[in-house]
Amino acid sequence: MLPRLAIGRKGRGVFKRILYGLSGANLEIFKVRTSVLEPGLYCSELTYYQFGMYIMFPIGWMYYFGTNLESRFSVPDFWPAPESTHKIPHEREELLAELERLKNQRLQRRARRLELEAQAKEDK
């Protein structure tokens, strides 16, 4: 049951649409439970405790599991050595040499493909 709000009918409808529009969301954590001791006086210690837990639990979790990850979860030799990986050319001469290499590779593949197509036509 939604709490009554001191706003107009249109505003209340908007509030309901916003809350019910969150399909699948667990809205229980947003409810504030206070017990009335006297008229106008609320016991909010539980509310402060709940708020502190909602805020500090994820922060503590991230602090505990998020610090010192390199030494805890590192797998030796997981990434390849920089010498064995592809090096991106940066200088003009390196770029031209790389383009020439790619062009020769493409022409070799094309020649091989044309040779296979010609061989396939002869076999028919």
Dihedral sign computed on CA atoms, order 32, 23, 19, 12: negative
Query: pTM of the predicted model, to two decimals?
Result: 0.35
Structure tokens at 20: 């019910």
Percent of the chain with pLDDT over 90: 30
Give the tens place of pLDDT for each residue, 53-92.
Answer: 889 999 998 888 887 777 777 788 888 888 888 888 899 9
Residue 82 is given by DSSP the state: G
Structure tokens at 104: 């020769």
Give the tens place of pLDDT for each residue, 18-35.
Answer: 655 555 555 565 555 555
Strands 35-38 and 41-43: what pairing? antiparallel
Alpha helix ranges (H) inside 3-91? 9-21, 45-66, 69-73
